[in-house]
């Protein structure tokens, strides 16, 4: 190893993007993601240590991974997260390090993360109303997230993306207000269709789904027009000329608005794999195939062996994720996004 290579799966897709769940813990309990009591956590010893995460990512980078997104659970509650970013930023093959966070701890961490080498963040924000925010997150303080957004702008972590999960009857009346943020700020607000994963503890949940087409129609009615992208390199799909635009802009806006639905996911251009906090590599979000890297790592496997396992996971990537089946009521089978690293 040592030579830069390309990681290509059995269907000719080049895999360049690794989403890494650095913890299964979270300091919020968003109603659409976790049950109130939280999810059953892995024991501390099952979770990859910072140096183990760094080693896997280093090996993956030598195989062709160029972009790493740190997620969770909540990545900012992970001890050593700044050190991890710092170590990753030293890996020559990694050209982009991003993070998806609920933003609560950004006021204190935005600067150290920026200095450590983080390139950009996606911040989850489902409502602009403090009381509603407390309800949706089951105790979060909106002020901290807004202060976190200011902190990331102050330190130049850009472009900022906002992830908004739209829930019918809960926050769908705020679509226009949240979209309006893009008028003043150069942010990309991405509306996400709620995915009724079965075991997030919200079992009667499909009635909260607001179809992405409905969200898009509401924004288009505000006079928005399609733009080429806004997606960034983490988006595998570019639908330009192939159906409704995924990104649009409001008149006079500095930022753009995106629409994300797992159901629209185009498997043929998927470029990603996922690493869970306990060291399993998942070739596809919507399949139960996984390759254990932790056991061999702890048994002293050489880099070449770990590289072989990463290639094996990539070779097992299915041609198509079974979106419909995964979302169907299939108790116990579907993990929530917080467990697999949303």
Provide the binding-site residues for ligand SF4, judged by CB under 6 A.
26, 28-30, 33-34, 72-74, 102, 124, 338
Tokens of 208: 């909260």
Q: Does 208 bind ligand SAM (CB under 6 A)?
A: no
| DSSP letter for each residue of 22-53 | --S--S---TTTS-TT-PPPPPGGGSPPHHHH
Judged by beta carbon distances under 5 to 8 A according to partner kind, the member of ligand SAM, ligand SF4, none in contact with residue 195 is ligand SAM
Tell me the closest approach of the beta carbon of residue 201 to ligand SF4, in angstroms: 11
Judged by beta carbon distances under 5 to 8 A according to partner kind, the member of ligand SF4, ligand SAM, none in contact with residue 34 is ligand SF4
Tell me the closest approach of the beta carbon of residue 305 to ligand SAM, in angstroms: 30
CA 171, CA 129: separation in Å to the nearest integer? 10
157 φ, ψ (degrees, to nearest 5): -85, 95
Measured from the CB atom, is 58 or 126 closer to ligand SF4?
126
Q: Strands across the sheet with 280-282, in order?
A: 225-226, 247-249, 256-260, 188-193, 161-166, 120-124, 96-101, 67-71, 17-21, 272-275, 280-282, 291-292
CA 73, CA 29: separation in Å to the nearest integer? 10
Figure out which of the listed residues 39, 192, 293, 327 binds ligand SAM, where binding follows CB under 6 A.
192
Measured from the CB atom, is 174 or 222 closer to ligand SF4?
174
CA 158, CA 186: separation in Å to the nearest integer? 9
Measured from the CB atom, is 127 or 163 closer to ligand SAM?
163
SS3 (DSSP) at 237: coil
Figure out which of the listed residues 15, 33, 60, 212 binds ligand SAM, where binding follows CB under 6 A.
33
Count CB-CB contacts under 10 A for residue 295: 11
Q: Does 291 bind ligand SAM (CB under 6 A)?
A: no
Q: Does 26 bind ligand SAM (CB under 6 A)?
A: yes
Figure out which of the listed residues 71, 171, 188, 334 binds ligand SAM, where binding follows CB under 6 A.
71
């Amino acid at each position: 190893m040592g030579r830069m290579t390309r990681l290509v799966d059995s269907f000719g897709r080049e895999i360049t993007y690794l989403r890494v769940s650095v913890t299964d813990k979270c300091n919020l309990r968003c109603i659409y993601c976790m049950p109130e009591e939280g999810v059953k956590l892995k024991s501390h010893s099952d979770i990859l240590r910072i140096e183990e995460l760094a080693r896997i990512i280093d090996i993956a980078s030598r195989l062709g991974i160029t972009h790493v997104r740190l997620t969770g659970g909540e990545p900012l509650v992970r001890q050593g997260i700044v050190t991890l970013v710092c170590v990753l930023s030293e890996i020559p093959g990694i050209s982009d390090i991003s993070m998806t966070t609920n933003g609560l701890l950004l006021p204190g961490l935005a600067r150290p993360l920026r200095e450590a080498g983080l390139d950009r963040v996606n911040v989850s924000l489902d409502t602009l109303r403090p009381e509603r925010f407390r309800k949706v997150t089951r105790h979060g303080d909106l002020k901290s997230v807004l202060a976190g957004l200011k902190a990331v702008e102050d330190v130049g972590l850009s472009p900022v993306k906002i992830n908004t999960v739209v829930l019918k009857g809960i926050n769908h009346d705020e679509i226009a207000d949240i979209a309006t943020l893009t008028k003043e700020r150069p942010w990309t607000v991405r509306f996400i269709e709620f995915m009724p994963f079965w075991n997030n503890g919200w079992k009667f949940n499909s009635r909260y789904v607001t179809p992405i087409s409905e969200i898009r129609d509401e924004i288009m009615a505000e006079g928005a027009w399609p733009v080429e992208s806004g997606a960034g390199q983490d988006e595998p799909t570019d639908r330009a000329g192939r159906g409704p635009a995924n990104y649009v802009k409001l008149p006079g806006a500095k930022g753009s608005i995106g629409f994300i639905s797992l159901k629209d996911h185009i498997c043929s251009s998927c470029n990603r794999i996922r690493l869970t906090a306990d060291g399993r590599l998942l070739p596809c979000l919507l399949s139960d195939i996984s390759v254990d890297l932790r056991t061999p790592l702890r048994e002293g496997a050489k880099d070449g062996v770990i590289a072989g396992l990463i290639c094996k996971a990539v070779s097992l990537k299915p041609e198509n994720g079974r979106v419909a089946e995964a979302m169907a009521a299939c108790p116990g089978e579907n993990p929530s996004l917080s467990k697999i690293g949303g």
